[in-house]
Amino acid sequence: MKKYNIALIKGDGIGPEIIDEATKVLDAVGACEGIEFSYQEVLMGGCAYDAVGDPLPQETIDVSLASDAVLFGAIGGEKWDTLPREKRPESGLLRFRKELGVFANLRPTNVYDEMVNASSLKPEIVKGVDLMVVRELIGGIYFGEPKGRDENRGWNTMVYTRPEIERIAHVAFKIAMERSKKVCSVDKANVLDVSQLWREVVIEVSQEYPEVALTHMYVDNAAMQLIRDPKQFDVILTGNIFGDILSDEASMLSGSIGLLPSASVGAKIGVYEPIHGSAPDIAGMGIANPIATVASASMMLRYALGENSAADRIDAGIKETLAQGYRTRDMAAYDAKVICTTSQMGSMIAQMAVEWKA
């Protein structure tokens, strides 16, 4: 029996409800695959402020760093919006990512066949989309110096160093090796010096992955191609600001915020979380869609723990549950046969994942 220690941060709003479904599915799949999970729950966000007066208690950082991975729900809510900036839930999350040194943000977008009508694009364009944006998260123009403003000018600096580009490129190529072995590096090398270095270093790193086909695309073209023909992409590797924009654009291909997972990884430890927030408007009603969080647990198995077979099982469980017409309320308009609660959806996915035969 393999054992893993998972730090659980349920957070605020729908966070506790969706995390409970993710652990339900993890435990069910673990039992089939000979894996035991030991969870340690720690506080972050508004609930942490209410309990101890700090949105990110030191214990949360310590427990997370000592674990094999962090599974995270969502934080925030109106109740805490009027607090001073450093006491707000969002400040806790930013500080958390920095403390953990997570430099790579991974955002997969896959469009489930049963949900093609939920996208704002035509079904034939989005059917079969399965791509991953690998975004550099703690460098580039959001952090570069000098930056500042006076009354008449504002300025920021886009800077990347060779080691920063190398480490994010390795993440992208390793992921591509697990997928269909294609990386498209997105930059603006026709205009920006920093992008010329980016391109040079990515090409160098690619020599270590001879099986992976590397292409390059300018960011303006990439933004257009994502809408024109998203199926041409597998792994998109890009810097902080380009990735910020492209990953949001890509997430809309799937049509529903309640479906998409993400991971933020670094040298130390990874944080696995849905892309949506704490949805205070539906908290406690038992109607939140847990799929993004369950899919985040699958990413955790694949990327943090190397448990690909268990991850495949969860992914198959989600697909089969959707194929059989189970929908939470947010997806009710798309070929629903049964409208289910958060907990029923988690139980169905767990059951389908357990029954799945590779």
Residue 349 touching ligand NAD (CB under 6 A)? no
Distance CA 94, CA 48 (A): 15
- Per DSSP (E only), the strands in the chain are 2-11, 35-41, 69-74, 102-110, 130-136, 148-149, 154-155, 182-187, 213-218, 235-238, 261-266, 271-274, 326-327, 338-339
Distance CA 229, CA 247 (A): 15
In the complex, minimum distance from the CB of residue 11 to ligand NAD, in angstroms, rounded to a whole number: 6
In the complex, minimum distance from the CB of residue 129 to ligand NAD, in angstroms, rounded to a whole number: 20
In the complex, minimum distance from the CB of residue 253 to ligand NAD, in angstroms, rounded to a whole number: 17
Considering the complex, state which of residue 55 and residue 76 has its C-beta at the smaller distance from ligand NAD. 76
Is 50 marked active-site? no
Considering the complex, state which of residue 191 and residue 285 has its C-beta at the smaller distance from ligand NAD. 285
Counting every residue written for the chain, the total comes to: 358
Distance CA 9, CA 70 (A): 7
Q: How far is CA 260 from CA 9, 121, 276, in A?
A: 18, 17, 8
Considering the complex, state which of residue 229 and residue 248 has its C-beta at the smaller distance from ligand NAD. 248
Residue with tokens 């694949």: 302
Peptide bond preceding 57: is omega within 30 degrees of 0, i.e. cis? Answer: no
Taking CB under 6 A as the binding criterion, the range among 63-71, 122-130, 208-216, 278-286 that sits at the site for ligand NAD is: 278-286
Considering the complex, state which of residue 101 and residue 280 has its C-beta at the smaller distance from ligand NAD. 280
295: Cβ–Cβ under 8 A, 6 or more apart, which residues? 259, 260, 261, 274, 314, 315, 318
Q: Which of residues 46-85 bind ligand NAD (CB under 6 A)?
A: 74-77
Residue 279 touching ligand NAD (CB under 6 A)? yes
Tally of CA atoms within 13 A in the half-sphere of 116 that contains its CB? 12
- Name the catalytic one among 81, 248, 268, 281: 248
Binding residue for ligand NAD, selected from 10, 135, 276, 313, defined by CB under 6 A: 276
Residue 92 touching ligand NAD (CB under 6 A)? no
Distance CA 262, CA 241 (A): 17
Q: Which of residues 156-175 bind ligand NAD (CB under 6 A)?
A: none
Considering the complex, state which of residue 288 and residue 348 has its C-beta at the smaller distance from ligand NAD. 288
In the complex, minimum distance from the CB of residue 320 to ligand NAD, in angstroms, rounded to a whole number: 20
Write each residue from 286 to 315 as x if it is in contact with ligand NAD (CB under 6 A), else as -, in one continuous string: --xx--x-----------------------
Phi-psi domain of 101 (left: phi exceeds 0; alpha: psi -120 through 50; beta: other):
left
In the complex, minimum distance from the CB of residue 291 to ligand NAD, in angstroms, rounded to a whole number: 8
Residue 277 touching ligand NAD (CB under 6 A)? yes
In the complex, the residues that contact ligand NAD under the rule CB under 6 A are 74-77, 90, 93, 257-258, 273, 276-282, 288-289, 292, 330
